[in-house]
Structure 1
Amino acid sequence: MTDLAHAIDILGGIATRQQLLAIGFTGTDLTRAVRGGGIRRIRQARYASPSAHIDRVAAARVGGLLAGPSAAATYGLWAGLDPRLHISVGRNSARLRTNVAPSFSDRMTLTPDSSGRPIALHWIGGGAVAERGPECWRTTFEQCLRQTVAWCDTETAVACLDTALAVANCTPARIAEIFAAASASDRLTASRCRFGSDSGSESLVRQRLDQLGIPYRQQVEIASVGRVDFGLVGTRIVIEVDSWLYHGDRIAFERDRRRDAELVARGYTVIRLTYQRIMNDWPWCEGMILATLAALH
């Protein structure tokens, strides 16, 4: 039982019957594991381990794949703020497990039949679940990037691609290859990605500085301090982008205060922008940056 659940975990927490048979388990093994509670059967020929993420279970239960920004999150990329779960299904997919028939989704919020999480269904040619793998619960990395650019606002799309460069060993050349057959609009959006943003919030700041026409450099190395997120060109102004993930404990607090003191001692002005401020009060962030620049003149 444990080995079967572990095998499903290796496959991402969700597996098809065909995948499990292909690696040596039998139909009897699956039946025993389900009856014993070691794994869950979430729809015909679809199985989940006890630790499978709820979003993956929801996509498999509906009968599709996590797609676009929802898949991006599973690859460690910026996924934006859309609260819906994006699920792709084949053009001829049937027996979808949703609260109402998808044809009624213009009248009420569409959700899985097992939860109240809003979903966005995308009917895609060739988008049926890959029965033999390597994964049966999300679109491929390349499909995910193309879908995110096609379905999301430009800022979110570029931030997703920026984080692909940072965390997924992607290159601008690889991005261009992935989007070679995309629309002209999507190719233009893809061309705007840049190295230097280690997080989605850093990418948003980068893009908004571009819109303001403020020149900057990213990941600037400063002696005795280390790298800072942004250095405004022609000034001694530094912008640091803080998130709770990397700046939310006592050790990080002490480290950041030390860095600030070192920077000030070297004549720098430090502007710290938190994730919450960037996402919920950008006018305040913009005002702080412009006021700091104005104070130099």
Structure 2
Amino acid sequence: MPTTSRAARRRAELASWVRARQGISHSSDIRAAGFTVHDVAGAVSAGMLNRVRRSWLVTPECDSRRVAAARVGGRVTCISAAAIRGFWLPDSATDEKTHVAVQGTASRIDSDAVRVHWGSGPAPTGRNETEEPTLNVLFHVAHCLPRREALPVWESAIRKKAVAAEVLARVAWRSSGAAALAAVASALSDSGLETLFVDGMRRAGVDVVQQVWIDGHPVDGLIGSSLVTQLDGFAHHSNAADRRRDLEADARLVLRGYVVLRFDYYQVLFQWDQVRDAILTAMAQGAHRRPVLAAR
């Protein structure tokens, strides 16, 4: 009876140990932690752990993306890893397949099950890792997505404090696309939507100063001295009080001499030409050079 109790306790300890490591671990790491093949066999038999590709053990609740990576001997990367870490992703940057980084010498990869990334990112990775480090995740995002979609992911990583902008600028990316993103990524944007807007205007030759305080409140962007831009996210104005608050703020700005242009999520993502042209037209009319009544 004591033997049975000890075996059950060891199974529970092993399952808890694997669960603390994001629900997945290589058998060599399990052995190095002091667990035996009998502990592993008992946990698998009891349904506490499942085997993946012989050498990997996962808990039943382990994230399916980590499991998919282990099945092909790779690491979760790109937008799949970004999603796991809670980085901002545009709706267009979704994929039913898990994005997985594998060694250049890897073979027999089922590309129907995963989206394979063969290139190596700038940061080294451990042999038994199932997820890429942040720098490599961003490296693959830069290669996989168009710049307009990749930059918000990079800036979201900065806002989440997964990496600092000054660190990105010092990395040897070995990729012109990633280096270009590192040169412009910053922590100023409050959201991926703001990143898209500012980068789009920058490419149109317009400088937007972000998060400027006017009349005691921050505005999303200020062009010149008097053209204010405000952006409404996808879930913005969930109630009438929020809408009234924004209308009141816009009115106060107009009364002080500012011109306020407000755009929503759909316009910035799917009607960008109209957004850009509206701002360029307002500038042609001198909206960014009007005298204002209040000091910023």
User: What TM-score, normalized by structure 2, do the two folds share?
Assistant: 0.75
How do 1:184-199 residues align onto structure 2 when only pairs under 5 Å count?
184=176, 186-199=178-191
Gaps of 5+ in 1: 99-109, 113-118
Q: 1:213 corresponds to which residue?
A: 205
Q: Aligned equivalents of 2:166 and 2:241: distance in 1?
A: 40
Percent identical among aligned pairs is: 25
- Correspondence 1:89 to 2:93: no
Q: Deviations over 1:61-95 (max 9, x none)?
A: 23211123332333333455152532111223345
Q: 1:46 aligns with which of 56, 64, 68?
A: 56
Structure 1 residues 215 and 187, CA gap change in structure 2 (3 angstroms): closer
The amino acid of 1:182's aligned partner reads R
Q: 1:153 corresponds to which residue?
A: 146
Q: Aligned equivalents of 1:125 and 1:190: distance in 2?
A: 17
How do 1:103-142 residues align onto structure 2 when only pairs under 5 Å count?
110-112=111-113, 119-124=114-119, 130-132=126-128, 136-142=129-135
Structure 1 residues 22 and 82, CA gap change in structure 2 (3 angstroms): same
Structure 1 residues 14 and 222, CA gap change in structure 2 (3 angstroms): farther
Q: Aligned equivalents of 1:47 and 1:273: distance in 2?
A: 48
Q: 2:222 corresponds to which residue?
A: 231
Q: Aligned equivalents of 1:43 and 1:131: distance in 2?
A: 15
Q: Match of 1:90, SS?
A: coil
Q: 2:265 corresponds to which residue?
A: 275
The amino acid of 2:101's aligned partner reads S
Answer yes or no: is the 8 Å Cα contact 2:215–2:253 preserved in 1: no
The amino acid of 2:246's aligned partner reads R
Q: 1:254 corresponds to which residue?
A: 241
Structure 1 residues 43 and 266, CA gap change in structure 2 (3 angstroms): same
Gaps of 5+ in 2: 1-10, 288-296
Structure 1 residues 266 and 159, CA gap change in structure 2 (3 angstroms): closer
| 1:185 Cα offset (Å) | 5.3
C-alpha RMSD over aligned residues: 3.2
Q: Which has the higher contact order (CA 8 A, sep 6+)?
A: 1
Structure 1 residues 249 and 16, CA gap change in structure 2 (3 angstroms): farther
Q: 2:137 aligns with which of 130, 138, 144?
A: 144
Answer yes or no: is the 8 Å Cα contact 2:23–2:63 preserved in 1: yes
User: What TM-score, normalized by structure 1, do the two folds share?
Assistant: 0.75
The total of aligned residue pairs comes to 270
Q: Match of 1:191, SS?
A: helix
Q: Match of 2:190, SS?
A: coil
| 1:235 Cα offset (Å) | 1.6
Q: Deviations over 1:233-262 (max 9, x none)?
A: 322423224132xx3744xx6335313313
